[in-house]
């Protein structure tokens, strides 16, 4: 009986982990997953928002998370300069102006007026994304 309970629990846990993998990324890398909370935090800390819009099914998004955003050099700059935010486009829980047909897309958003300072479309490797971060 214990074995059955364990297998059932394992199966539920696995499903949850796979169903929410961008949320796992957010938790691991200390990203916000709600726009309103990220904005509130950004205003309090006087930092712009780095908003990464992904989808649950997009391979380029997973690669971007793993190869660029998780890299130490990239992550250090992000945490220093921005309030990082990652949202699944399919959940439609962000202001419409950030919607994009192409995914992933990264926005650098001014915390004072919510204007998009820069939009980076598509996948970027670690070095290319470092250049983007240094430029901003």
Contacting positions for another protein (CB under 8 A): 15, 18-21, 56-57, 59, 62-63, 66, 88, 90-91
Distances (CA, A) of 55 to 7, 43, 51, 77, 78: 29, 27, 13, 24, 21
Q: How far apart are CA 93 and CA 91, in angstroms?
A: 6
Name the minimum Å distance from CB 36 to another protein.
Answer: 20
Least Cβ distance, residue 132 to another protein (angstroms): 23
- Of 30 and 91, which has the nearer Cβ to another protein? 91
Output 88 or 106, the one with its CB closest to another protein: 88
């Amino acid at each position: 009986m214990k074995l059955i309970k364990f297998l059932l629990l394992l199966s539920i846990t696995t499903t949850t982990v796979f169903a929410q993998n961008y949320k796992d990324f957010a938790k691991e890398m200390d990203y916000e997953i709600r726009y309103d909370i990220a904005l509130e935090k950004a205003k309090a800390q006087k930092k712009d928002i780095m908003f990464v819009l992904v989808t649950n099914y997009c391979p380029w998004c997973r690669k971007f998370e793993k190869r660029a955003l998780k890299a130490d050099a990239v992550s250090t700059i992000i945490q220093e300069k921005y309030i990082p935010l990652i949202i699944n486009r399919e959940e439609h829980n962000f202001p419409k102006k950030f919607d994009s047909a192409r995914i992933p897309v990264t926005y650098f958003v001014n915390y004072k007026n919510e204007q998009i300072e820069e939009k980076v479309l598509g996948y970027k490797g670690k070095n290319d994304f470092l250049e983007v971060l240094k430029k901003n």
